[in-house]
Amino acid sequence: MKAKALPSSSHKGRHLRLARWGETLALLWLWLKGYRLEARNWRCTLGELDLVMRRRELLVFVEVKTRTSRQVGLPEEAVSLGKQAQLARVAKAYLSQRRGPLPPCRFDVVAVELSGFFPRLRHHRGAFVMKT
């Protein structure tokens, strides 16, 4: 069995910059659609939430996936069932930190494609539900 080479730190840096750029585009796009930022890159021992947004009384956990090509598929296809389960666990941890009654919640995915002259964004509302 051939060992995989570890990504170089410059590859990791590029990946992180690409992810942050996609998150910024998604944040601005959602803000223009009436969403307001509650948290960005919220972390706990279970993982990270890219964006936590509010739209009126609704709390929306937004996973942002950014790609520069479709070589490995559409960005939103990267939100596997395993990733959804992990995001649900992290969202529960986030909610446990809040005071007062829990608001209605939703999981959205924003796909960002940076392969052309203009970025293309797709907003998948209610992309998956949190299993209790």
Question: What's the rounded Cα separation, in Å, for the pair 113 and 101?
Answer: 37
Residue 69's pLDDT is 85
Question: Is 95 inside a domain boundary?
Answer: yes
**Each residue's pLDDT tens digit in the chain (132 positions)?**
455 555 555 667 887 888 899 999 999 999 999 999 999 999 999 999 999 999 999 999 999 999 988 888 899 999 999 999 999 999 999 999 998 899 999 999 999 998 878 999 999 999 988 765
* Cβ atoms < 10 Å from Cβ of 85: 13
> Is 2 within a domain?
no
In a domain, 3, yes or no: no
pTM equals 0.85
For residue 120, what pLDDT is reported? 94
Predicted confidence at residue 1, as pLDDT, reads: 47
Query: Distance between CA 7 and CA 40 in Å, rounded?
Result: 26
Asked if residue 4 belongs to a domain, the reply is: no
CATH code, domain with 123:
3.40.1350.10
Alpha helices per DSSP H over the chain:
9-32, 81-96
CB of 97 closer than 8 Å to CB of 43: no
Total number of domains constituting the chain: 1
Give residue 32's pLDDT: 97
Domain boundaries, position 74: 10-128
* pLDDT number for residue 5: 52
Question: Is position 110 within any domain?
Answer: yes
Q: How far apart are CA 69 and CA 82, in angstroms?
A: 23
* Intra-chain end-to-end CA distance of the chain, in Å: 40
Query: In this predicted structure, what is the pLDDT of residue 11?
Result: 64
